[in-house]
Amino acid sequence: MLHTKVAIVGLGTVGTGVARLLLEFGDRTARHAGRSLVLEQIVVKDLQKARTIKLPAGILSDDIKRITLDPEITVVALLMGGLEPARSIMLELLASGKNIVTANKALLAAHGPELFDRARELGRSIAFEASVAGGIPIIANISQCLSANQIQSIHAILNGTSNYILTQMEAHGASYADAVREAQRLGYAEADPTMDVDGSDAAQKLAILSHLAFGARVAWHEIPRQGIDTLDLADLRYAKELGYRIKLLAVAGLNSDGLELHVSPTLVKLGSPLAEVRGAYNAISVVGDAVGRVFFSGLGAGQMPTASAVVADLIDTVVGRSTITFRTLELWSKQGARVAASDYGSVSGRYYLRFNVADRPSVLAEIAGALGKENISIASVIQHEAEEGSQGVVPLVIMTHNTTEGALGRAIDTIDQLAFMRGRSVRMRVLD
Ligand code: NAP
Ligand code: HSE
């Protein structure tokens, strides 16, 4: 039987899963690739670190040259995180003639144009299914299976860590800190989980999806974003009382001005498919003009789901499919962007608002007045009686009718200045 030599850089959560699939399930990959994939080299940073997988003798090193100087290794899975030295290593691998498979979305979101241009110049390919939504084959679906469509919108849960934390807090009463620790232990979180919980990881993935689906070339850090790191347990409870569940939602949608883009904690109707996505699961709801709505769901983080996507890319690369797709899609090429991000202030929707206010007369009237000045109409109000020990401060929860981000921002700026306000106001988008 034919064989192809492959290598891995990084043997952490994902790299270990990939090595396991290649070493323990070689028959399966050989059957699907029509040749065996021989794991020839694995390069790590710290050779002294204990590994959770038994490896054949002599394949583990900390020397990238063992890959770059071996002409028989044609494809490399780059499975380390961060920007540097990951970027330099990818460039070195490309220059030495390797095709690349990667799960590193931060790297692609930051340096996609440079890396993809370089791969094209050198006649190499970069496959990146595992970089968005872990085990869900969303890159292949958007770039190939749905290519007869003009994609109109994407509503997605793209960060497994945040969804796991929200689920642990809401369904199991876990504290935020405990839930973060558990997400790290389970291998869902990044080495530094800050970008998981502040919305950055989801924004990076949204930037990649928006490029594929809409031809948008947006810098991920320009996507308006808010994470779950500032969420209050009270908001999870009020959302439930109102018939919603809070999800960290990444949204991209065509409107008359361009492309609406944002990542934010959002109240999603209980019982709707997105609201029922729990734990480390991700989901992507895509609307195409021909196909209508399609919904993808699966584990978006974790060792084996992510390894599943990486190994599929390795197989696609050795059989030549990735090269064809890569050449045809012209990703991040110098050709002009097909659509630009629209003004965030004009993005419309309904909102959930919570104000902590002094329990005295006319508070509601003044808040309603400030909202009314911006033409924002109130859909419902919740105010429970002050609890013992609350020192005369009560939460006031308001659901609005449709308005714009800009109008709401102006109204909130006014309300935050009012004398009865205690602490900062909270606002979240609502998806009905
Ligand atoms: P991880 O557990 O932190 O592992 C990172 C690996 O990279 C380690 O084995 C480390 O070596 C190696 N490494 C770091 N610097 C290196 C260098 N200079 N040269 C060679 N190797 C180096 O990370 P992970 O969770 O597997 O994630 C890897 C990538 O996949 C990240 O980009 C992440 O965003 C992405 N991803 C992760 C998941 C997930 O569920 N974890 C899902 C999808 C995508 P040592 O072991 O020697 O320290
Ligand atoms: N840290 C990421 C997440 C891994 O939790 O979604 C998958 O990209």
Question: Residue-wise pLDDT tens for the chain (432 aa)?
Answer: 899 999 999 999 999 999 999 999 999 999 999 999 999 999 999 999 999 999 999 999 999 999 999 999 999 999 999 999 999 999 999 999 999 999 999 999 999 999 999 999 999 999 999 999 999 999 999 999 999 999 999 999 999 999 999 999 999 999 999 999 999 999 999 989 999 999 999 999 999 999 999 999 999 999 999 999 989 999 999 999 999 999 999 999 999 889 999 999 999 999 999 999 999 999 999 999 999 999 999 999 999 999 999 999 999 999 999 999 988 888 887 776 788 999 999 999 999 999 999 999 999 999 999 999 999 999 999 998 877 777 889 999 999 999 999 999 999 999 999 999 998 899 999 998
Residue partners of 147: CB distance under 8 A and separation at least 6: none
For the chain, the distance separating the N- and C-terminal CA atoms, rounded to the nearest angstrom, is: 55
Q: Which atom belonging to ligand 2 lies closest to the Cα atom of 132?
A: 8
Does any ligand 1 atom lie closer than 6 A to the CB of residue 86?
A: no
If residue 204 lies in a helix (H) or strand (E), which one and from where to where? Answer: helix 200-214
User: What distances in angstroms separate CA 275 from CA 115, 244, 280, 282, 313, one per listed residue?
Assistant: 36, 8, 13, 11, 30
User: What pLDDT does residue 422 have?
Assistant: 94
Does any ligand 1 atom lie closer than 6 A to the CB of residue 43?
A: yes
Residue 8 structure tokens: 């891995």
Q: Which atom belonging to ligand 2 lies closest to the Cα atom of 195?
A: 1
Q: Cβ–Cβ contacts within 10 Å for residue 62, how many? A: 11
Q: Which atom belonging to ligand 1 lies closest to the Cα atom of 134?
A: 43
Nearest listed ligand to the Cα of residue 191 = 1
Per annotation, catalytic residue among 5, 105, 205, 247:
205
Q: Is 54 considered catalytic here? A: no
Q: Are 277 and 250 in contact (CB under 8 A)?
A: no
Residue nearest to atom 1 of ligand 2 (CA): 189
Global confidence as pTM: 0.96
Does any ligand 1 atom lie closer than 6 A to the CB of residue 376?
A: no
306 Cα to the center of ligand 2, angstroms: 9
* Among 188, 204, 208, residue to substitute to test ligand 2 (most atoms within 8 Å of Cβ): 188
- Is residue 79 classed as helix, strand or coil in its secondary structure? coil
Query: What order of strands is seen across the sheet that includes strand 126-127?
Result: 60-61, 36-43, 3-9, 73-78, 99-102, 126-127
Backbone angles phi, psi at 256, to 5 degrees: -65, -20
* Among 79, 108, 192, residue to substitute to test ligand 1 (most atoms within 8 Å of Cβ): 79
Task: Give the chain's domains with CATH numbers.
Answer: 3-134+305-329 (3.40.50.720), 150-300 (3.30.360.10), 344-431 (3.30.70.260)
Residue 324 structure tokens: 């064809």
Q: Cβ–Cβ contacts within 10 Å for residue 236, how many? A: 17
111 Cα to the center of ligand 1, angstroms: 18
Does any ligand 2 atom lie closer than 6 A to the CB of residue 301?
A: yes
Does any ligand 2 atom lie closer than 6 A to the CB of residue 167?
A: no
Residue partners of 329: CB distance under 8 A and separation at least 6: 143, 212
